Amino acid sequence: MQGNRRGIWKLILLYLSLGMVSLIILYPILLMLRISLISPEEFFRPDKALLIGPGWTLEHWKGVFGSGLLWPALYKSLYIATVTTVMAVLLAAPAAYVISRTGRRWKYILIMSLFISRMFPEVGIALPVSVRFLSWNLVDTYLGIVLAHLIKVLPYVAWILVGTFEAIPRSLEEASFVDGAGKLATLRRIVFPVSMPGIAVAAMLVWLESWNEFTYALYLTVSENTLPLQTYYYLNRGGIFNSAAYATIITVPVIVMTFILQRHLKAGMLAGGVK
């Protein structure tokens, strides 16, 4: 009996603290949603009750969907995030594999050198990058932003993938060699499939990073905005409500991805293979 009651209290405490944490995390998101749905009169009323109050409207959302600015921005953001992800994984995977199979000292040096480009603040490095890109006619192109995003994400992807590949025991590859497979076949049929969870995690992180990215996009864009730029564009003109609607649109895939991510993160990819 005693133990049972203690258990119940523990459970109540657990849920209470979980609830508080979720509230702290959810509050800004709910607020953002609310602002995108609030009527301007209510919003500017001095004694308004922000989260739960009267004055709901779909006007801002209608405006956002009707303006003709959403779809190009959405398309551009989706396109850039996806292409960046594919390229980042394709470029980083072979490099990361090689790094993961080199000696310990070299490995450390190589990984550190990957992060050199990340040592400078983005606002600092974005200007020289865009000047360079200007002379290569890359400003205001999709390719330009993709390349800029790659500067940003490649170190992270490579780093995650080095960790992923390192976790694969040598004996797995050796078993494949002995079974008659060459190096490439072993990569394709053993190493990459077994690393899939790690690769997926890296890919999703890249996708999110590129999807959210603001600084490079700002420097390299003249005409067609990405979603974050579009959010900022409204904010800059005092369009709080439209901005909130855009912010909500940006957030949705982030939440979905994060859910998928956390499932992948806990699944043991090597379970049962060795020992």
Q: Which residues bind other proteins (CB under 8 A)?
A: 169, 171-172, 174-182, 185, 189-190, 193-194, 196, 268-275
Tokens of 251: 């957030």
Of 41 and 179, nearer to other proteins (C-beta) is: 179
Residue 213 Cα distances to 80, 135, 147, 224, angstroms:
10, 23, 13, 15
- Taking the complex as a whole, how short is the minimal distance between the CB of residue 262 and other proteins, in angstroms? 20
Of 10 and 189, nearer to other proteins (C-beta) is: 189
- Taking the complex as a whole, how short is the minimal distance between the CB of residue 194 and other proteins, in angstroms? 6
Of 119 and 178, nearer to other proteins (C-beta) is: 178
- Taking the complex as a whole, how short is the minimal distance between the CB of residue 185 and other proteins, in angstroms? 7
Residues 16, 11: Cα–Cα separation, whole Å = 8
Kindly state the greatest CA–CA separation across the chain: 77
- Taking the complex as a whole, how short is the minimal distance between the CB of residue 267 and other proteins, in angstroms? 11
Tokens of 29: 């998101």
- Taking the complex as a whole, how short is the minimal distance between the CB of residue 259 and other proteins, in angstroms? 23
Residues 268, 252: Cα–Cα separation, whole Å = 27
Of 261 and 269, nearer to other proteins (C-beta) is: 269
The one-letter amino acid code at 102 reads T
Helices (H) and strands (E) in the chain, counts: 13, 0
Task: Measure CA of the first residue to CA of the last residue in the chain; give whole Å.
Answer: 42
Of 53 and 197, nearer to other proteins (C-beta) is: 197
- Taking the complex as a whole, how short is the minimal distance between the CB of residue 196 and other proteins, in angstroms? 8
**Residue corresponding to tokens 């980042």:** 88
Which among 175, 200, 210 has a CA at the least distance from the CA of 189?
175
Which among 253, 165, 250 has a CA at the least distance from the CA of 202?
165
Of 66 and 103, nearer to other proteins (C-beta) is: 103
